[in-house]
Amino acid sequence: MDDSKGVRLIARQALSPFDCDVSEATNGFNALFSMERTLPDLILLDVNMPIMGGLEMLAMLKSKPALQAIPVIMLASPADHPVSAQLAALGVNGTVMKPFTTDALVEKIRRVLDLKALPLPPPNHG
């Protein structure tokens, strides 16, 4: 989840070749309720978000038994460096620095999740 539509679009594009469902949220408050219902396999979480920041969101995730085992990759900017120790203490599974490429994001996700490529469509013999 990220409040930036552009960042969410890049993440969606990065995951489009893979067999996975992508849900988006613009803030941690909305995302938390959604995650408790859907139990995602992975959470991409921006450090800086409105309403509930990424650090607060991560602490809440790790305090909920149903959500605490879900791997979390943080999306951070160089300005977020002061909170990197807190992120590590809360057990993030990785950090991707913004701006990032789709390849960099996929590489980081592959370290914590087995991404399966979508099956190729059958050849069109028309």
Residue range 69-97, pLDDT digits in tens: 999 999 999 888 888 889 889 999 999 99
59, part of any domain: yes
Coil, strand or helix at 117: strand
pTM (2 d.p.): 0.86
Q: Indicate the burial class of 124 (C-beta count within 10 angstroms; 0-12, 13-18, 19 or more).
A: exposed
The CATH number given to whatever domain includes residue 24 is 3.40.50.2300
Give the total number of structural domains in the chain.
1
DSSP state of 31: H
Domain range for 93 is 5-110
117 lies in some domain: no
Is the CA virtual torsion 92, 74, 1, 24 positive or negative? negative
